[in-house]
Structure 1
Amino acid sequence: MSVTTATVRYFAGARAAAGVPEETLGLPSGATVADALKELSVRHGEALSRVLLASSFLLDGVAVRDRSIPLSDGIVLDVLPPFAGG
């Protein structure tokens, strides 16, 4: 079975919840953004799961609206939780 490798980068509260600034995720070929998020929730538990529910995502710098988008090998997935600002 072929594997898709993605680099996941966490920002702000997502970084705190995951406990790491980034990590590599290996998923079966054809895996989607939703599959990656499910794996990250399993890997890091409830704290990150809550953050993921409210987060926005970028794939190689492009905003993701459809979580059924398949991941390509070597892609970068950025996890952007809501930011407070002023």
Structure 2
Amino acid sequence: MAEVLVRYFAAAEDAAGRPEERVEVTDATVGGLQAELVARYGEPMERVVLSGSFLVGGVVSRDPSRELTATVDVLPPFAGG
């Protein structure tokens, strides 16, 4: 089990109803965090985590097997080019 500071941005913050929180995950990977957030916040968060990305250790990742660091940012998909 690991405790992670999760920071939410834009649609992720809307889905969570807060800008950040500490989350305990049994599987300390991006996939484990995705599952925990969807279990907590349901379909609005599911849309964000399936189409967005995670900033883990300063690197943007969509890899569900990537190990988490102490702080993870949940980023919604961004438009533009």
**In 2, Cα distance between equivalents of 1:68 and 1:10:** 20
Give the match for residue 48 of structure 1: 45
Give the match for residue 63 of structure 1: 60
Partner secondary structure for residue 49 of structure 1:
helix
Taking only aligned residues, the RMSD between alpha carbons, in angstroms, comes to 1.7
What TM-score, normalized to structure 1?
0.81
Unaligned runs of 5+ in 2: none
Pick the structure with greater CA Rg.
Answer: 1
Partner secondary structure for residue 8 of structure 1:
strand
Q: Which whole-Å deviations, capped at 9, do the CAs of 1:39-78 have from their partners, x for residues lacking one?
A: 0000011111111111011112211142202224xx1111
After TM superposition, where is structure 1 displaced by more than 6 Å over at least 4 residues in a row?
none
Fraction of identical pairs, as percent: 51
